[in-house]
Amino acid sequence: MFKQAAWDVRDTTRVAAFAALIAVLGLPGAVPVFGGAVPITLQTLGVMLAGTILGPWRGAAAILTFEALVLFGLPIVSGGRGGAGMFVGPSAGYLLGWIFGVVVIGAIASVGSERPRWWRTAVACVTGGILVVYAFGIPIQALVTRLPLVETALTSTVFLPGDLVKAVLATVITLTLWRAYPRAFSRGTNPKHPVDTDVTA
Amino acid sequence: MIGLYRPGTSVLHRMPTGLKLVCFIGASLAIATTTTSLWQVISALTFVMTGYACAGLSARVLASQVVAARWIILFMLAPQLLFLPAIDAVTNTARVALIVILAALFTLTTRIPDLLDATERACAPFRRFGIRPEAVALVLALTITSIPVIAGFAATIRDAQRARGIPPHRLSFAVPLLIMSLKHADDLADAVSARGIEP
């Protein structure tokens, strides 16, 4: 399931573009969410889409690239945050979880065929984008804040409804993108999915 | 795109990036593991303030980092006060806030080009696993230049939809943004290939 074509230039630039896209999703006012009234982050949506569109390894490369730039001090985490502080605060585990989560999302979403199916994409987003991310995020948050695990898990449930909505959105967007622009899902120079296919024909 | 870097000539600014990162990880771990009582919080606070003073940064810069950490402080303090004794809640919150503010000092005193170079050097041992440091540096540089481009796409789509009277909707916004971003990636790939760069 992890077998993919060799890495080529197009993959390198897609990883860069996706990392930049996740950064833009964190810029204040760049993307309208409920009219900008609710400080909800769309970046976890970007993480889910990186997995479903780029696949496990290119997706993970995009997340690593994004997080390297956060460490470098670009204010690209939602709310204009950034810098090394992100990796020592309570949210550190969630950032770590994104890396493993996107591998799980990509692996589940691309199992069988590369054509996304709605149920497989939804399972991938919930498992990788929520379960795996929380599995890293909550224990590390408990360790950092020294609040017991159960209480930390309880306080984290406030993010669960939003994350479930994002999993639904990621599924709908992935399937819409497949219909609108199937080239998005082509991996490297894999002859089964020639990148030069004219999808508008 | 403006980073958090504040120019200066202090010891911290001149320290090699890799060594500085190791020092900051050490200091963060020391604060994380030893700070349990109120006087330890005060000594950690003194340490962090000394660090900012050593870097030649003004009290205003330190204050702006405290403001930047306000959500961490707020989101940590509320559940802690609910579940733990008040003194523990305050100590825990202060400890985490201090570590975050100390870590910010690393970012404040390190230029992005230095960090890119350091990353390229740090990736060298991974060459045997098929990770090429030049490719890593290229991806990071391409991402930095793509952020304003993709932010521009977002603005274009928003304006186009507003002009047509379409209320901003997440789905009608996300799909064109994804397509434009991926097409931008393909344009970049053509530009990189045309210049004979082998990533």
pLDDT higher at A192 or A54: A54
Cα–Cα distance list, A84 to A49, A81, B126 (Å): 25, 10, 23
Other C-beta atoms lying within 10 Å of the C-beta of residue A186: 20
Q: Contacts for A194-201 with beta carbons within 8 Å, 24 or more apart? A: A195/A10, A195/B186
**With bands split at pLDDT 50, 70 and 90, how would you rate the model's confidence at B90?**
very high
- The closest alpha carbon to A7, from B92, B114, B138, belongs to B138
- 3 state SS of A190: coil
Q: Does residue B5 form part of some domain?
A: no
Q: Which amino acid is at B70?
A: R
- Contacts with B, A 56-75, CB within 8 Å: 61, 65-66, 68-69, 71-75
On the question of pLDDT at A192 being above 60, the answer is no
Residue of B nearest to A12 (CA): B139
Domain shared by B88 and B65, yes or no = yes
Q: Average pLDDT for residues A180-184, to the nearest whole number? A: 89
Half-sphere exposure of A58 (CA within 13 A, CB side): 28
Q: Does residue B49 form part of some domain?
A: yes
Cβ atoms of A19 and B136 closer than 8 Å = no
On the question of pLDDT at A188 being above 60, the answer is no
Q: Name which of A10, A23, A85 is nearest B189 (Cβ-Cβ).
A: A10
Q: Does residue B2 form part of some domain?
A: no
B152 class by beta-carbon count within 10 Å (0-12 exposed, 13-18 middle, 19+ buried) = middle
Q: Does residue B70 form part of some domain?
A: yes
Q: How far, in Å, CA of B54 to CA of A3, rounded?
A: 51
> Cα A116 to chain center, whole Å?
16
Across chain A, what does the average pLDDT equal?
Answer: 84
Domain shared by B19 and B89, yes or no = yes
Which residues span the domain enclosing B189? Answer: 121-194
Q: Domains in chain A, please, with CATH?
A: 9-185 (1.10.1760.20)
Q: Which amino acid is at B129?
A: F
Pick the last residue of a domain from B110, B136, B160.
Answer: B110
Q: Does residue B46 form part of some domain?
A: yes
Q: Does residue B15 form part of some domain?
A: yes
pLDDT higher at A199 or B30: B30
Q: Average pLDDT for residues A169-189, to the nearest whole number? A: 86
A chain contacts of residue B101, beta-carbon cutoff 8 Å: 85
Q: How far, in Å, CA of A107 to CA of A129, rounded?
A: 12
Interface test with A, best of B110, B143, B190 (most A CBs within 10 A): B143
Q: Average pLDDT for residues B157-181, to the nearest whole number? A: 84
Q: Does residue B131 form part of some domain?
A: yes
Which of B85-117 are b and which e, b meaning 16 or more Cβ less than 10 Å from the residue's Cβ?
eeeebbbbbbbbbbbbbbbbbbbbbbebebbbe
pLDDT of residue A153: 92
pLDDT higher at A69 or A42: A69
pLDDT of residue B199: 62
Domain shared by B86 and B140, yes or no = no
Name the phi and psi angles at B36, rounded to 5.
-125, -25
**With bands split at pLDDT 50, 70 and 90, how would you rate the model's confidence at A35?**
very low
Chain A: nearest CA to B65, how far in angstroms? 10
Pick the last residue of a domain from B53, B88, B110.
Answer: B110
Least confident window among B18-27, B29-38, B152-161, B164-173: B164-173
Pick the last residue of a domain from B110, B131, B148.
Answer: B110
Query: What is the number of helices (H) and of strands (E) in chain A?
Result: 8, 0
Domain shared by B160 and B102, yes or no = no
| DSSP for residue B165 | T
Rounded to two decimals, the ipTM of the complex is: 0.87
pLDDT of residue A29: 58
A74/B155 CB distance under 8 A: no
**With bands split at pLDDT 50, 70 and 90, how would you rate the model's confidence at A40?**
low
On the question of pLDDT at A90 being above 60, the answer is yes
pLDDT of residue B161: 87
pLDDT higher at A91 or B198: A91
Task: Please count the structural domains in chain B.
Answer: 2
pLDDT of residue B168: 65
| DSSP for residue B164 | T
**pTM to 2 decimal places:** 0.87
Domain shared by B65 and B95, yes or no = yes
Q: Does residue B134 form part of some domain?
A: yes
Domain shared by B48 and B125, yes or no = no
Strand blocks (E) in B62-197 = none
Q: With an 8 Å Cβ cutoff, is A82 touching chain B?
A: yes
Cα–Cα distance list, B126 to B122, B132, B134 (Å): 8, 7, 12
Domain shared by B50 and B97, yes or no = yes
Q: Average pLDDT for residues B35-41, to the nearest whole number? A: 89
**With bands split at pLDDT 50, 70 and 90, how would you rate the model's confidence at B158?**
confident
Chain A: nearest CA to B110, how far in angstroms? 8
pLDDT of residue A8: 83
Cβ atoms of B104 and B48 closer than 8 Å = no
